A and B are shown apart, each in its own frame.
Chain A
Amino acid sequence: MADHPPPAKRSPASDLPTLAIPDHIRATLKEGFLTSFEDAKAYEQLLLQIAQDVGPRGHIEWLWVKDVCDCTWDIHRARRAKAVSLAMGRKDAIRAIQMASRPEFELATEELRTKAEDEVEDIFDRLGAGAGAGAVPTEDGSDDFGPFPMMLHRLGLTEASLQDVAYSNLLPQMEAFDRLIDNAMARRDSVLREIDRRRDFGRRMRQAVQAGDQVIDAEFE
């Protein structure tokens, strides 16, 4: 299972009180908020950690805790999907540059297509790993990174600007991701405003959310 929203690291596991999810909340977990492609244990841990910070009392407060957890999960899910889409966009940009710069690939035999795709994957992986950063492009690719930096150089691009090209190509999709994320944040704010109406439950919930957001934001910096 790949990455999932990291539970906020606020206290060691040994310090956690034995807080249990009430049966009626557990019943709603079975409702199918998660897909089978997600880590149910990570979700439950996030729920428990928010609950631990907030100490919900009563049915409605538990439902609010679950709302906040669901919205947080939605935000992270959309951010991750946006990052994956952008990575795919970078790969598309590399592919387009490769195809434009290597006329032999236009022969489009199966063998050449495979070779071209392997090169795209290789460049993508190496750029992602930071290889070639700051390397001076050479015509013969003697910088041990192949001729790709030179291709970029001829086009007036840098490795960093690949991201901009990808973003520009995917602009409508990126905006849709942003709307999805904004909507989830607005839903969460709406729940928090409701909670504010009740005692200091709202204050503690806001602190729990901010702590969780700091962990998630750090992952995307």
Chain B
Amino acid sequence: MTTSDRKRAANRANAARSTGPRTPAGKQRASRNALRHGLSLPLPLDEYGPELSAMAGELEGEFPGRDAAARVAAIAQLHLQRVRRMRALVLQEAAQARREDGASWPHDDDHDLSLALADQLARLLILDGYERKAMSRRKRAFRALTT
């Protein structure tokens, strides 16, 4: 058996074992994974109608005749902003919680925010992954628009 065959067999065996959650509670929890922040889903266009029109309008003005590409670029830009807004929300909530608990000393904005960031490092690193993907998508969209 070659290395590739062995790898393929191991992958198949692992895939057979990794079929996701098995218990009803696990399935229920996993079914809501994408709803926690929705960042892996496409931009909900109904929520972003006015912003999308404004952003696409600006880009169309700069690149006349490229309406479809401008709209794709606008969607990608709004998606990126959405990830950044989520990061701020995570920090805002954590800092607010610290402030309300009186958990940190001294009580100043910078100190509370810094400790909130330390509390939320794991979530922020996950959001970094979403931001990297969003930037990559926007890069492709901008290149398609400008070239």
Contacts and interface: CB of A to CB of B under 8 A. Distances in A.
User: B interface, by DSSP: helix, strand, loop or mixed?
Assistant: helix
B58 A24 contact: yes
Mostly helix, strand, loop or mixed at chain A's interface?
A: helix
A84 B111 contact: yes
B117 A34 contact: no
B131 A81 contact: no
A92 B91 CA distance: 24
Contact of A60 (B62, B114, B122, B132): B62
B84 interface: yes
Interface residues of B, number: 39
Interface in A169-203: 173, 176-177, 179-180, 183-184, 186-187, 190-191, 194, 198
A33 B84 contact: yes
B23 to A, nearest CB: 30
B144 interface: no
Contacts of B61: 59
A35 B92 contact: yes
A83 B84 CA distance: 23
B92 to A, nearest CB: 4
Given A31-B81, A33-B88, A173 B118 contact: yes
Given A84-B111, A194-B142, A180 B92 contact: no
A176 B128 CA distance: 12
A88 B112 CA distance: 12
Interface of A: 1-4, 24, 27-28, 31-38, 58-60, 63, 67, 70, 77-78, 80-81, 83-85, 88, 173, 176-177, 179-180, 183-184, 186-187, 190-191, 194, 198
20 contacts: A2-B110, A27-B54, A28-B81, A31-B85, A32-B84, A33-B81, A33-B85, A35-B113, A37-B109, A78-B117, A80-B110, A84-B110, A84-B111, A84-B118, A173-B118, A179-B128, A180-B121, A180-B124, A180-B128, A191-B135
